[in-house]
């Protein structure tokens, strides 16, 4: 065995195993654990350490400091000098951690995942802007919507001719005043549109004592509640293909938001309306539903094989990027 290991150190694993008719898997499985790792022999064509140091010293010369190995290789050949191949120059540089992108390229920062949650109304809002088609091609109206994440209640909205930071500032200030938001109470989340990241809006948030957060670039899932709300709006059967004028768009949106807040039984709220949740009527509504279901069960218990039915409950917390769900997704991906 000692002779075989000595031959491996000199010739390598593959030639020795081929000569002995031994599979390499058997060698690694039986021999290597008992005698430690097998060291690969140094390739006979490899440059010795002193020559590698000479190559590095040449690459460090002032005339070659800003030159690529290909340029160094060609210039040395023109001078009648050969040190090594171009690829070996790259190897020597890599061993000394001197290979990197030299050009001044833009490096995008690693944006953290926004993780926000709300346990009551007026604790976390989400806002966004969407386009509504105008009467002619390439004409649009802009719908601003501020949504309470916990109750899904539309606390503020506006339709305008343009997307503007000044208009967004006015809408947010009016909405915070109407809802009686105290400093330090509210977080407002938005994507990275120009109005959302504008300086006037940021200064307004600071004056009101409101924390602002933003989605990661090009990640629509970081603002899911506003996106889902716009889908509910635009998938309505009576949503028009185009709006004739600004008043037309405002009239339609006024009717829609009245229906959405007061009458729409939201699947994410246990089939309660946003109005009930936002104004603290959820517990009363659930208790009334429980009484109705109990009476139905008492009248016909045979219709409920799984026992007395219970109404859906209201979620205790609503998340944007729940850490537990993100961890589970990461485990599945791995």
Residue 143 clears pLDDT 90, i.e. is over it? yes
User: pTM of the prediction?
Assistant: 0.69
Distance CA(11)–CA(4), nearest Å, equals: 10
Residue 256 clears pLDDT 70, i.e. is over it? yes
User: How much is the average pLDDT of 65-71?
Assistant: 90
More confident site: 36 or 323:
323
Q: What pLDDT does 1 receive?
A: 57
Are 166 and 288 in contact by the 8 Å Cβ rule? The answer is no
Residue 247 clears pLDDT 80, i.e. is over it? yes
Quickly state the pLDDT bin for 36 (edges 50, 70, 90): low
- CB neighbour list of residue 166: distance below 8 Å, 6 or more residues apart: 200
Are 34 and 1 in contact by the 8 Å Cβ rule? The answer is no
Quickly state the pLDDT bin for 111 (edges 50, 70, 90): confident
Distance CA(147)–CA(260), nearest Å, equals: 11
User: How much is the average pLDDT of 24-41?
Assistant: 68
- Give 190-242 pLDDT, tens digit per residue: 999 999 999 999 999 999 999 999 999 888 889 999 999 999 999 999 999 99
User: How much is the average pLDDT of 103-119?
Assistant: 84
- Give 163-184 pLDDT, tens digit per residue: 999 999 999 999 999 999 999 9
Residue 85 clears pLDDT 60, i.e. is over it? yes
Sign of CA dihedral 36, 37, 43, 46: negative
Distance CA(95)–CA(89), nearest Å, equals: 10
Distance CA(163)–CA(99), nearest Å, equals: 46
Q: What pLDDT does 94 receive?
A: 92
Distance CA(239)–CA(253), nearest Å, equals: 10
Q: What pLDDT does 45 receive?
A: 84
Segments making up each domain of the chain, as ranges: 2-28, 49-95, 116-269
Residue 39 clears pLDDT 70, i.e. is over it? no
Average pLDDT, the chain: 89
User: How much is the average pLDDT of 294-304?
Assistant: 94
Q: Which of 174, 183, 133 lies closest to 156 in space, CA to CA?
A: 174
- CB neighbour list of residue 267: distance below 8 Å, 6 or more residues apart: none
User: How much is the average pLDDT of 23-32?
Assistant: 75
Residue 270 clears pLDDT 60, i.e. is over it? yes
Residue 35 clears pLDDT 60, i.e. is over it? no
Quickly state the pLDDT bin for 279 (edges 50, 70, 90): very high
User: How much is the average pLDDT of 266-292?
Assistant: 96
Q: Which CATH number applies to 116-269? A: 3.30.420.10
Distance CA(30)–CA(40), nearest Å, equals: 18
Q: What pLDDT does 32 receive?
A: 57
Residues of the chain with pLDDT > 70, as a percent, come to: 92
Tokens at residue 149, please?
């994440």
């Amino acid at each position: 065995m000692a002779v075989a290991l000595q031959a491996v150190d000199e010739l390598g694993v593959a030639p020795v195993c081929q000569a002995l008719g031994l599979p390499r898997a058997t060698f690694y499985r039986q021999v290597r654990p008992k005698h430690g790792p097998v060291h690969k022999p140094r390739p006979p064509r490899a440059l010795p350490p002193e020559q590698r140091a000479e190559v590095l010293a040449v690459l460090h010369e002032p005339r070659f400091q800003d030159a690529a190995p290909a340029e160094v290789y060609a210039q040395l050949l023109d001078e009648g000098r050969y040190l090594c191949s171009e690829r070996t120059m790259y190897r020597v540089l890599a061993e000394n951690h001197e290979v990197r992108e030299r050009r001044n390229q833009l490096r995008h920062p690693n944006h953290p995942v926004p993780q926000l949650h709300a346990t009551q109304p007026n604790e976390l809002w989400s806002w966004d802007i969407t386009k509504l088609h105008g009467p002619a091609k390439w004409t649009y109206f802009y719908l601003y919507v501020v949504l309470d994440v916990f109750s899904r209640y539309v606390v503020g909205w506006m339709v305008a001719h343009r997307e503007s930071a000044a208009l967004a500032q006015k809408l947010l200030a009016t909405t915070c005043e109407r809802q009686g938001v105290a400093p330090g109470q509210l977080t407002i989340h938005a994507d990275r549109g120009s109005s959302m990241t504008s300086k006037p809006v940021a200064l307004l948030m600071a004056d009101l004592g409101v924390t602002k957060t933003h989605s990661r670039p090009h990640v629509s899932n970081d603002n899911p509640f506003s996106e889902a709300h716009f889908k509910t709006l635009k998938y309505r059967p009576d949503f028009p293909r185009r709006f004739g004028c600004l008043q037309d768009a405002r009239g339609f949106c006024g009717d829609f938001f009245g229906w959405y807040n007061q009458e729409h039984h939201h699947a994410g709220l246990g089939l309660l309306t946003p109005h009930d949740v936002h104004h603290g009527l959820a517990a009363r509504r659930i208790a009334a539903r429980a009484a109705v279901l109990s009476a139905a069960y008492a009248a016909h218990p045979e219709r409920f094989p799984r026992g007395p039915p219970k109404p859906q409950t209201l979620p205790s917390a609503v998340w944007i990027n729940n850490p537990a769900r993100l961890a589970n997704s990461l485990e599945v991906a791995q």
